[in-house]
Structure 1
Amino acid sequence: MTDLIPELRTPSAPEGTGRVKSGMHVSRVDGIAKVTGAARYAAEHEAPALAYGVVVSGTVAKGRIKNIDAGAAEAVPGVIAVITHENRTVKMRGNDLAYKDMTAPAGSPFRPLYSDRIFYSGQPVALVVAETFEAARYAAALVKLSYEVEEHDTDMLASLDRAYEPRKMKAGFVPPSSKGDADTAYEAAPVKIESQFYHGAEHHNPMEMFASTVVLGEDGHLTVYDKNQSSQNCRWYVSHVFGLSKDKLTVRNPYVGGAFGSGLRPQYQLPLAVMAALQLKRSVRVVLTRQQMFSFGHRPETWQQVKLAANPDGQLQAIVHNAVHETSRLEDYVEVVVNWSGQMYACDNIKLGYKLVGQDRYSPIDMRAPGAAHGVHALEVAMDEMAHALKMDPLAFRLKNYAEVNPLDGKPYSTKELRQCYQKGAERFGWQDRPLEPRSMRDGEELVGWGMATGMWDALVMVARVSAVLHADGRLVVSSAASDIGTGTYTVMSMIAAEAMGLSLEKVSFQLGDSTLPMAPIEGGSSHVATVGSGVAGACEKLQKALLKMAQAMPDSIFKKLQLRQVEFNDGRIHLRGEPAKGVGLAEVLAHAGKDRVEEKFLMTPQMLKQRKYTRAVHSAVFCEVRVNEKLGIVRVTRVVNAVAAGRIISAKTAESQIIGGVVWGISQALHEETYTDHRLGRFMNHNFSEYHVAVNADIHDIQVIFADEDDRVVSKQLGAKGVGEIGLVGVSAAVANAIFHATGKRLRSTPMSPDKLLLGDQEVPVRKPPQFE
Structure 2
Amino acid sequence: GVMPGETAKGDLAAGLAASAVVVDEEYTTPEEHHSMMEPHAATALWDGGRLEVVDSNQGTTWIQSELAQMFSLDASAVRVRSEHIGGGFGSKGLRAHQVAAVMAATELQRPVRVVMTRRQMFSLAGYRSPTLQHVRLGADADGRLRALEHRSLNQTSTVYEFVEPSAGVARVMYDAEAHHTANEVVPLDVPSPTFMRAPGEAPGSFAVESALDELAERCGIDPVELRLRNEPEVGPVSGLPFSSRNLDVCFREGARRFGWAERDPRPGRRREGRWLLGTGTAAASFHAGAGPSTAVVTAQADGGFTVRIAAADIGTGARTALTLVAADALEVAPDRVLVRIGDSDFGPAMIAGGSMGTRSWAWAIREAARELRERLALGTPIPPEGITVRSDTTEALGALAQKERHSFGAQFAEVAVDPATGEVRVRRMLGIFAAGRIVNPLTARNQLVGGMVWGISMALHEEAVRDRTSGALYAPDLAGYHVATNADVGDIQADWVDDPDPDDPVGIKGVGEIGVVGAAAAVANAVWHATGVRHRSLPIRPDRILSAGVPASEGGPHA
Q: How many residues are paired up?
A: 552
Match of 1:701 among 490, 497, 512: 490
Distance in 2 of aligned mates of 1:331 and 1:688: 25
- Matched with 2:554 is none
2:3 alignment partner AA: F
- Matched with 2:329 is 500
Which string of whole-angstrom CA distances, capped at 9 and with x for unpartnered residues, describes residues 174-225 of structure 1?
Answer: 33311111122112312111111111101101111011111333x2332211
- Matched with 1:55 is none
Range 693-702 or range 206-215, more displaced: 206-215
Distance in 2 of aligned mates of 1:648 and 1:729: 19
Q: Kindly indicate whether the alpha-carbon contact (under 8 Å) linking 2:270 and 2:276 is maintained by their aligned counterparts in 1.
A: yes
- Matched with 1:456 is 285
Match of 1:543 among 372, 375, 381: 372
Residue 657 in 1 paired to residue 466 in 2? no
Residue 633 in 1 paired to residue 462 in 2? no
- Matched with 1:239 is 68
- Matched with 1:713 is 502
1:273 alignment partner AA: A
Q: Kindly indicate whether the alpha-carbon contact (under 8 Å) linking 2:535 and 2:558 is maintained by their aligned counterparts in 1.
A: no
1:269 alignment partner AA: H
Which secondary structure state, in structure 2, belongs to the residue aligned with residue 639 of structure 1? strand
- Matched with 2:514 is 727
The CA deviation at 1:518 is 2.0
The CA deviation at 1:291 is 0.4
- Matched with 1:683 is 472
Distance in 1 of aligned mates of 2:531 and 2:291: 45
- Matched with 2:553 is none
1:627 alignment partner AA: A
- Matched with 1:213 is 43
1:723 alignment partner AA: G
Residue 755 in 1 paired to residue 542 in 2? yes
Gap change, CA 1:284 and 1:766, over 3 Å in 2: farther
Alignment TM-score, normalising by the size of structure 1: 0.70
Residue 355 in 1 paired to residue 184 in 2? yes
Which secondary structure state, in structure 2, belongs to the residue aligned with residue 412 of structure 1? coil
Match of 1:605 among 379, 388, 394: 394
Gap change, CA 1:762 and 1:259, over 3 Å in 2: farther
User: What are the ranges of 5 or more consecutive residues in structure 2 without an aligned counterpart?
Assistant: 551-556
Which secondary structure state, in structure 1, belongs to the residue aligned with residue 444 of structure 2? helix
Which string of whole-angstrom CA distances, capped at 9 and with x for unpartnered residues, describes residues 31-53 of structure 1?
Answer: xxxxxxxxxxxxxxxxxxxxxxx
Alignment of 1:109-508 (within 5 A): 170=1, 172-217=2-47, 219-263=48-92, 265-296=93-124, 297-508=126-337
2:96 alignment partner AA: Y
Q: Kindly indicate whether the alpha-carbon contact (under 8 Å) linking 1:644 and 1:707 is maintained by their aligned counterparts in 2.
A: yes
Distance in 2 of aligned mates of 1:606 and 1:431: 46
Which string of whole-angstrom CA distances, capped at 9 and with x for unpartnered residues, describes residues 618-665 of structure 1?
Answer: 100001100111111100011111000011111111111000110010
The CA deviation at 1:612 is 4.6
1:725 alignment partner AA: G
2:197 alignment partner AA: R
- Matched with 1:111 is none
The CA deviation at 1:346 is 3.1
Which secondary structure state, in structure 2, belongs to the residue aligned with residue 760 of structure 1? helix
The CA deviation at 1:336 is 2.1
1:210 alignment partner AA: H
Distance in 2 of aligned mates of 1:738 and 1:353: 24
The CA deviation at 1:337 is 1.1
The CA deviation at 1:611 is 4.1
Match of 1:525 among 324, 329, 354: 354
Residue 590 in 1 paired to residue 377 in 2? no
Distance in 2 of aligned mates of 1:735 and 1:353: 24
Gap change, CA 1:481 and 1:762, over 3 Å in 2: farther
The CA deviation at 1:501 is 1.9
Distance in 2 of aligned mates of 1:214 and 1:609: 36
1:746 alignment partner AA: V
The CA deviation at 1:608 is 5.3
The CA deviation at 1:732 is 0.0
Which secondary structure state, in structure 2, belongs to the residue aligned with residue 397 of structure 1? helix
Distance in 1 of aligned mates of 2:106 and 2:386: 40
Q: Kindly indicate whether the alpha-carbon contact (under 8 Å) linking 1:176 and 1:339 is maintained by their aligned counterparts in 2.
A: no
Distance in 2 of aligned mates of 1:643 and 1:314: 24
Distance in 2 of aligned mates of 1:200 and 1:407: 28
The CA deviation at 1:353 is 2.0
Gap change, CA 1:458 and 1:176, over 3 Å in 2: farther
Alignment TM-score, normalising by the size of structure 2: 0.96
- Matched with 1:26 is none
Q: Kindly indicate whether the alpha-carbon contact (under 8 Å) linking 1:748 and 1:762 is maintained by their aligned counterparts in 2.
A: no
Which secondary structure state, in structure 1, belongs to the residue aligned with residue 344 of structure 2? coil
Distance in 2 of aligned mates of 1:613 and 1:274: 42
Distance in 1 of aligned mates of 2:248 and 2:40: 42
Which secondary structure state, in structure 1, belongs to the residue aligned with residue 8 of structure 2? coil
Distance in 1 of aligned mates of 2:24 and 2:111: 58
Distance in 2 of aligned mates of 1:502 and 1:343: 38
Which string of whole-angstrom CA distances, capped at 9 and with x for unpartnered residues, describes residues 648-687 of structure 1?
Answer: 1111111110001100101000000011001122101120
Q: Kindly indicate whether the alpha-carbon contact (under 8 Å) linking 1:178 and 1:342 is maintained by their aligned counterparts in 2.
A: no
Distance in 2 of aligned mates of 1:607 and 1:247: 26
1:292 alignment partner AA: Q
Gap change, CA 1:606 and 1:191, over 3 Å in 2: farther
Gap change, CA 1:464 and 1:620, over 3 Å in 2: same
1:358 alignment partner AA: P
2:6 alignment partner AA: P
Q: Kindly indicate whether the alpha-carbon contact (under 8 Å) linking 2:164 and 2:183 is maintained by their aligned counterparts in 1.
A: no
2:31 alignment partner AA: A
1:369 alignment partner AA: A
1:211 alignment partner AA: A
Which secondary structure state, in structure 2, belongs to the residue aligned with residue 641 of structure 1? strand
The CA deviation at 1:238 is 1.5
Gap change, CA 1:464 and 1:762, over 3 Å in 2: farther
The CA deviation at 1:756 is 0.9
Q: Kindly indicate whether the alpha-carbon contact (under 8 Å) linking 2:129 and 2:164 is maintained by their aligned counterparts in 1.
A: no
Residue 674 in 1 paired to residue 479 in 2? no
Distance in 2 of aligned mates of 1:606 and 1:201: 40
4+ long deviations beyond 6 Å? none
Q: Kindly indicate whether the alpha-carbon contact (under 8 Å) linking 1:254 and 1:514 is maintained by their aligned counterparts in 2.
A: yes
Distance in 2 of aligned mates of 1:745 and 1:766: 9
Distance in 2 of aligned mates of 1:688 and 1:547: 55
The CA deviation at 1:362 is 1.6
The CA deviation at 1:506 is 2.1
Q: Kindly indicate whether the alpha-carbon contact (under 8 Å) linking 1:456 and 1:617 is maintained by their aligned counterparts in 2.
A: yes
- Matched with 2:527 is 740
Distance in 2 of aligned mates of 1:500 and 1:341: 38
Q: Kindly indicate whether the alpha-carbon contact (under 8 Å) linking 2:533 and 2:558 is maintained by their aligned counterparts in 1.
A: no
1:733 alignment partner AA: A
The CA deviation at 1:595 is 5.7
Distance in 1 of aligned mates of 2:69 and 2:183: 33
Distance in 1 of aligned mates of 2:64 and 2:385: 33
Which string of whole-angstrom CA distances, capped at 9 and with x for unpartnered residues, describes residues 540-570 of structure 1?
Answer: 11111001122xxxxxxxxxxxxxxxxxxxx
Gap change, CA 1:214 and 1:655, over 3 Å in 2: same
Greater CA radius of gyration, 1 or 2? 1
Which secondary structure state, in structure 2, belongs to the residue aligned with residue 615 of structure 1? coil
Distance in 2 of aligned mates of 1:612 and 1:352: 25
Which string of whole-angstrom CA distances, capped at 9 and with x for unpartnered residues, describes residues 699-756 of structure 1?
Answer: 0111111111111122x1x111111101010000000000000000010001111111
